[in-house]
Amino acid sequence: MVSYMKPAPITKKYFTPGVFVLMLIALNGIAFLLGRLFFGIGAVTHLNNQYPWGIWIGVDVAAGVALAAGGFTTAALGHVMHRSHYHDIVRPALLTALLGYTFVALSVSIDIGRWYYIWHPMIMWNGSSALFEVGICVMIYLTVLYIEFLPIVTERFINHVNLKGIFSFLNKPIERLLMLLDKGLSKVMFVFIIAGVVLSTLHQSSLGTLMVIAGPKMHPLWQTPILPLLFLLSAISVGFPMVIFESMIAARSFGLKPEMEILSRLGSIVPPILGIYLAFKLGDMFIRETFVYLTSFNTQSVMFTIEVLFGVIIPLRMFLSKAVLKSPLWLFIASCLVIFGVLLNRINNFVTAYTPPYSFSSYFPSFGEISVTVGFIALLVLLYRLIVFNFPVISVIDRHYTPRTKYAIRGSEQ
């Protein structure tokens, strides 16, 4: 039962063959990243004056932000609505969001030409810019995420501070500092939780506003004034499938039993959200009469069809089925489809739909770009593994059952 679960560091061997493969992929990405840092963006990417944004924005940033939506959706469910039975998945979702956003920030930094000026938006403001809003919100939200994660850190170290040698005199002050931090945080944490949800709502939608300004340069199948709403809805609808996806992966990877009860329940929330998203997407298509573009056979029409059919309609039907919700495999597949759909939607919006009037060739990401993107994902997985091995994130069966305290983010008794 849920009540008998308690977050704790995983105690297994960190290095497995899979980890080595991931490390190779990550190293390959880092190599191209160094190339970008020393020789400029043009040396590594296929970007040019016609196609200024590629997959580093489309996948790393836009899809990254969307797929990290599990953090705020579960926080809203677990903390704002106090559905306590979801508490066990809040911490992994939080960690995924934290790492996701960290890598979004990193990706943005390497994609912008002057990465060392990434702090400029903090003091140079442009209120009319959608990108400014996204940037500021992501910055604040990242901070909020770190603050939300702090209790896990204090929990790990309280009563465990044990510096050796000359630093041993610091043990006591640090211990007291941690206690103080823990106590203070527990009182104001709700502020950050709500702020996190609000900030996420804002920048998830503003991410959609980003491409509105491209106007006729964007293919009409995607270009619509309700892009921000579609982005928000798709982000919310991908939140729970993402949590299901990572819980299943983690469970398999760490040899735990998937928490099917929670996950099935989560899955049952997906259809209404996904349905609303689909309704808006199709409704918009019919109001603007853009379905005429589907009759011609080109990259855009094919990609749109795949996105809507495999990314929204099929998984929606799957989530509506009780049998799917109960079967770990089918639930996993359905979640994967939603994730694939949103990932493809972001790629489509930022890359496929971007058809400038004057171009010499069409854009396809270079090996370097793909390497960096895949390398980042590998690095993210490795870091996730490293953190759950050292911090109480994933709930395991607790032998000493104790009642829960007010905020599950702290998750343990004091």
**What residue ranges bind another protein (CB under 8 A)?**
37-43, 45, 47-50, 52-53, 76, 79-82, 84, 108, 111-114, 117-118, 120-121, 124-133, 135, 187-188, 190-191, 193-195, 197-198, 201-202, 205-206, 209-217, 225, 228, 354, 356-358, 406
The residues pairing with 388 across neighbouring beta strands, listed in sequence order, are none
Instruction: Kindly state the smallest distance separating residue 341's Cβ from another protein, in Å.
Output: 24
Q: Please say which residue, 35 or 275, places its beta carbon nearer to another protein.
A: 35
Instruction: Kindly state the smallest distance separating residue 390's Cβ from another protein, in Å.
Output: 31
**How far is 124 from 103, CA to CA, in rounded Å?**
23
Instruction: Kindly state the smallest distance separating residue 116's Cβ from another protein, in Å.
Output: 9
Q: Please say which residue, 137 or 334, places its beta carbon nearer to another protein.
A: 137
Q: Please say which residue, 98 or 199, places its beta carbon nearer to another protein.
A: 199
Instruction: Kindly state the smallest distance separating residue 76's Cβ from another protein, in Å.
Output: 7
For 156-204, the DSSP string reads HHTTT----GGGGGGHHHHHHHHHHHHHHHHHHHHHHHHHHHHHHHHHH
Q: Please say which residue, 143 or 327, places its beta carbon nearer to another protein.
A: 143
Instruction: Kindly state the smallest distance separating residue 233's Cβ from another protein, in Å.
Output: 15
Q: Please say which residue, 40 or 283, places its beta carbon nearer to another protein.
A: 40
DSSP state of 256: P
Instruction: Kindly state the smallest distance separating residue 107's Cβ from another protein, in Å.
Output: 12
**How far is 369 from 33, CA to CA, in rounded Å?**
9
**How far is 386 from 384, CA to CA, in rounded Å?**
5
Q: Please say which residue, 84 or 171, places its beta carbon nearer to another protein.
A: 84
**How far is 36 from 114, CA to CA, in rounded Å?**
11
Instruction: Kindly state the smallest distance separating residue 13's Cβ from another protein, in Å.
Output: 40
**How far is 67 from 245, CA to CA, in rounded Å?**
11
Instruction: Kindly state the smallest distance separating residue 155's Cβ from another protein, in Å.
Output: 21
Q: Please say which residue, 96 or 206, places its beta carbon nearer to another protein.
A: 206
Residue 230 phi, psi (nearest 5): -60, -40
Q: Please say which residue, 74 or 335, places its beta carbon nearer to another protein.
A: 74
Residue 215 neighbours by CB distance under 10 Å: 8
The residue whose two tokens read 């491209």 is 214
The residue whose two tokens read 């496929």 is 352
* Residue 332 · residue 315 · CB < 8 Å: no
For 2-32, the DSSP string reads GGGEEE----S-S--HHHHHHHHHHHHHHHH
Residue 147 neighbours by CB distance under 10 Å: 17
Alpha-carbon dihedral of residues 325, 327, 333, 334, nearest 10 degrees?
A: -10
